[in-house]
Amino acid sequence: MKFALRHWLAAAMLPLMLAQPASAQTPAPAPAPAYDGPMYVVSYIETAPAAAAKTRAMLAAFAKSVRKESGNTAFIALQRAGEPNFFTVLEAWKDKDAQVAHVTAAATRAFRDGIEPMLRAPYDERPHMALAAKPLAAAGKSAVYVVTHVDIVPTSKDLGIELNKTLAESSRGEGAISFDLWQQASRANHLTLVEAWKDRKALDAHNSADAVKAYRAKFASISGSPYDIRVFKSVD
């Protein structure tokens, strides 16, 4: 009898659960707006530690080749400081068509196939649009790069974007070689901060500045993930 009653209650509650308004459910991330300007790409590559040196050499050679492609305005391959089997690639393209042509090119497929056996995770490629950016350019062999994935709680997307825009624009006048903000094409609440500094000392001074600490304090309450700062050096 108790068993039958439980099943009757479950069946009776099911229509009510399905009828809950959309506002009671977790909101889906808002798509990024329509865009026809320059395209930027951030790709993350993780290899087996023993394959780090070979991957670095392959990336350096591939970068030189890609910079000659039609529509490419920058291609910067980076290796993570302290974790040499982690790489990030920063790309800039004249428009979406140029970026798509690169992805489907035979040389790109050959490169991806070549590093596939060495990967510990899938090749993670994320197209972006510019929010607060100047033309991407290599900062030099000795420069320190920082790539930070920024995840904003969807309901606070606009505030989060404004806070990060302000950070990018103000930081350019504080010793940064470059400091740009990109928005992920598939998720409007996912951003990437791309920085270049003369050296680690300049980067550390920036991150210890009162203005940056104030930004971090304001942004913490609307961040959807830990603030993940990653430091890199160019591979070529």
Give the pLDDT score at 8: 42
Kindly give, in sequence order, each residue whose CB lies less than 8 Å from that of residue 138, ignoring residues fewer than 6 positions away. 74, 76, 234
Question: What tokens appear for 51 in the block?
Answer: 């394959």
Arithmetic mean of pLDDT, 9-21 = 44
Give the pLDDT score at 6: 46
Arithmetic mean of pLDDT, 202-216 = 95
- Indicate the pLDDT class of residue 213, thresholds 50, 70 and 90: very high
Instruction: Count other Cβ atoms within 10 Å, centred on residue 145.
Output: 25
Q: Is the Cβ–Cβ distance between 116 and 58 less than 8 Å?
A: no
What's the mean pLDDT when you consider all of the chain? 88
Cα separation, 10 vs 13, in Å, equals: 5
Cα separation, 17 vs 3, in Å, equals: 21
Q: Is the Cβ–Cβ distance between 225 and 151 less than 8 Å?
A: yes
Identity of residue 103: V
Region 39-234: CATH code: 3.30.70.100
Identity of residue 146: V
Give the whole-number percent of the chain exceeding pLDDT 90.
78
Arithmetic mean of pLDDT, 184-211 = 95
